[in-house]
Amino acid sequence: MATTDRQATTLALAHALSAAERGLAVLPLSRTKLPALRSPHRDDPSAAPCHGECGAFGHGVYDASTDPVRIRELFAAAPWATGYGIACGLPPHHLIGIDLDTKSGTDSSAALRELALRHLFTIPDTVVVLTPSGGRHLWLTGPPDAAVPNSAGRLAPGIDIRGAGGYLVGPGSRTDHGTYGTAPGTAHLAPAPCPPALLRLLLPPPRPTHPATHPSAGDQGQGLVQFVLAAHEGQRNTRLFWAACRAYENGIGPALVAPLISAALDTGLTEREARATIASAARMTGHRG
- Picking from 250, 87, 245, the residue whose alpha carbon sits closest to that of residue 170 is 87
The pLDDT tens digits along the chain (289 residues) read 455 578 888 999 999 999 999 999 999 999 999 999 999 888 877 777 788 888 899 999 999 999 999 999 999 999 999 999 999 999 999 999 999 988 767 789 999 999 999 999 999 999 999 999 999 999 999 998 888 999 988 888 899 999 999 999 999 999 999 999 999 999 999 999 999 999 999 987 665 555 555 555 556 688 889 888 888 767 888 889 899 988 888 888 888 999 999 999 988 889 989 998 998 888 887 775 4
* Predicted pLDDT at 1: 40
**Residue 205: cis peptide before it, omega within 30 degrees of 0:** no
DSSP state of 203: S
Residue type, 144: P
Q: Phi/psi class of residue 40: alpha, beta or left (left: φ > 0; alpha: ψ in -120 to 50)? A: alpha
The helix or strand, by DSSP H or E, that contains position 99, with its residue range, turns out to be strand 95-100
Question: Hey, which residues does 26 pair with through a beta bridge?
Answer: 65, 86
Cβ atoms of 269 and 237 within 8 Å: the answer is yes
In angstroms, the CA 71 to CA 232 distance is 25
pLDDT at 5: 74
Q: Could you tell me the sign of the dihedral formed by the alpha carbons of 161, 167, 170, 173, in that order?
A: negative
Question: Where do the structural domains in the chain lie, given as residue ranges?
Answer: 1-87, 89-204, 215-284
| Pairwise CA distance, residues 237 & 228, whole Å | 9
Q: What b/e sequence results for 154-193 when a residue is b if at least 16 CB atoms lie within 10 Å of its CB, and e otherwise? A: ebeebbbbbbbbbbbbbbbbbbeeebbebeeebeeeebee
Q: What is the pLDDT of residue 114?
A: 94
> Using CA atoms, how far apart are residues 244 and 251, in angstroms rounded to an integer?
11
Rounded Cα gap, residues 49 and 274, in angstroms: 9
Length of the chain: 289
pLDDT reported for residue 177: 92
